[in-house]
Amino acid sequence: MRQILLTLDSFCCLFLFYLFNLAMVCLDLTTDQETCLDRRPTPQELGRLSYMVDASKCQQLFIALGLSLPEISNTEHEARSLAAVTQITRMFLKWTYAYPNQTFRHIEMAMSEADMTTDNLGMTVETDDMDSDEKGLDRQLVVGEIGDLVDNIGKNYFNLFLELGLSVPTIEKCGMDHISDKSRVEKLTKLWINTFRDQATVIRIVKAMKLCRMDWHSTAMAYCVADEEEITE
């Protein structure tokens, strides 16, 4: 009987130790998220955040953030030929340029005021868990193989190349210099490859497409198949 009690005591101690460690991990995560809320978002994070904004509450959100109705209307008009999510991203960028000292905390409060959920706000700063050594994808993208990529991007090119690290002025200039979405994507992809060189990998662009909710899977499969055909030959 005494041995059974000792065993139970040991089990209880181990269980309490497990709960303590779990609580500490949760506390660390909460602390990290709280720290994240107290800084200015990057353009990439604003692009990711745009996918969490309910379009029907968009105007209410940006009024709560301090933009005026004319500013919102002008931004919508200027980006009218782009994807709806890009219009939201452009408004976030206008907001962060107008209020450079404001943080994620202000976005959280504005989203709450607009009756939008803020539970997933921390996801905008999380990295994707796709393996970087995925077979056939962890290599440089070359200009000669961007054809399939262009067809899978379309009007959402602004957010994609923002996520990939090109600057807002660079993307906007390309948008003005080229008429069709296809020519814009081709030009921006070439520019991205030339800018980032050995960092301009297939896996990186596939990850960015996944974050931008594009058809990343078809793109990844196309490059994997192309590699297999090259090896077979």
The residues of the chain scoring below 70 in pLDDT are: 1-35, 126-136, 225-233
What pLDDT, on the 0 to 100 scale, is given for residue 3? 55
What pLDDT, on the 0 to 100 scale, is given for residue 23? 44
pTM: 0.78
∠ CA 137-43-127, rounded to 5°: 40
Q: Which two tokens stand for residue 164?
A: 């990939």
What pLDDT, on the 0 to 100 scale, is given for residue 94? 96
What pLDDT, on the 0 to 100 scale, is given for residue 66? 97
∠ CA 27-31-34, rounded to 5°: 140
What pLDDT, on the 0 to 100 scale, is given for residue 129? 54
What pLDDT, on the 0 to 100 scale, is given for residue 20? 45
CA atoms of 123 and 120, how far apart (whole Å) = 5
What domains, with CATH codes, occur in the chain? 43-125 (1.10.533.10), 143-225 (1.10.533.10)
